[in-house]
Amino acid sequence: MSMESRLRMHLKRQATMLASAAAVTFAAVEPAEVHPHVFAEARLDVILSEDHQSVTALRHLWRFDDLFSSTVMMEFDKNSDLKLDDKELKEVADTVHSSLAEFNYFQLVTQDGKDVPMVPPPHLMANFDNDQLIILFESQPKTPIKLTGKIDIGVYDPTFYTAIDFTEDANLTVEGLPSNCTKKVVRPDPDEAIKENQKTLTEAFFNDPTGTDMSKIFATKLELNCPPEG
């Protein structure tokens, strides 16, 4: 049985104990478990083209909570030396990478309300800093996103199992934005988000929000608005 299969079985037995690798935990949540069990602080850097006219890449950093990080350490520290060597860290990163694929790596990217296709990141990096698990990766849109209209970029977990939080607005950045563009961080109020989207929220969402993709309405986003010049 593969490492990933064993981890999935372990998580289904002990979901509330936050066991095993990050993405496997995310994928194993049951419908009844719709409140977060895993917490991470995030940073997102939006990278523009050399001419500053389009978005070419997103750089993500997620720092996980102490409890979850310790479970990852125990699960992957095969030689029991209380640290993860390069091989063990790669195993963590590869497990997260493969398991988050079906969730678009928790990315929300839209232009004028339409989803922007993203290229899966070729790999992820895992590290530990002050006993906390750090996941880093860079992804790219299939085609550069031209800076026109309204572009929303954020992170969310469609299973509701993981709370990925931008604790400060400064943790969502974009450098070199053209003068005709504006940027702001949007933090939706849950009650207002439900009210504004009442017509599109089906009974299935309220019965099992993990079975839909509507949790994106609660996500913190960096909003770029770029009306045509002139």
Per-residue pLDDT, 163 = 85
- Contact (Cβ atoms closer than 8 angstroms) between residue 119 and residue 46: no
Q: Give yes or no for residue 174 having a pLDDT over 50.
A: yes
Token couple for 84: 């993860």
Residue 49 gets the label, from left (phi > 0), alpha (psi -120 to 50) or beta, of beta
The average confidence (pLDDT) of the chain is 81
Which DSSP helix (H) or strand (E) runs through 174? strand 172-174
pLDDT, greater one: 69 or 36? 69
Taking residue 182's Cβ as centre, other Cβ atoms within 10 Å add up to 11
- What pLDDT score was predicted for residue 37? 80
At 9 the pLDDT is 41
Q: What is the pLDDT of residues 46-93, one digit of tens each?
A: 999 999 999 999 999 999 999 999 999 999 999 999 999 999 999 999
CB-based contact 116:145 (threshold 8 Å): yes
- Per-range mean pLDDT, top range of 21-25, 51-55, 102-106, 200-204: 51-55
DSSP class of residue 76 equals H
Please give the pLDDT value at position 204.
46
- Label the pairing between strands 172-174 and 38-48: parallel
Residue from 169, 184, 170, 186 nearest 221 by CA? 186
Q: Could you tell me which of 193, 104, 94, 194 has the C-alpha nearest to residue 154?
A: 104
Nearest to 98 by CA among 74, 117, 126, 129: 126
Which two three-digit tokens encode residue 227? 């009306």
Please give the distance of CA 157 from its chain centroid, rounded to a whole number. 6
Yes or no: say if 69 and 193 are a contact pair by the CB < 8 Å rule.
Answer: no
Strands (E), 33-131: 38-48, 54-64, 107-111, 114-115, 118-119, 125-129
Give the whole-angstrom CA distance, residue 109 versus residue 130.
Answer: 31
Q: Which residue has the higher pLDDT, 208 or 93?
A: 93
The per-residue pLDDT for 195 is 61
Residues 6+ apart with CB under 8 A from 160: 29, 33, 34, 35, 36, 209, 210, 215
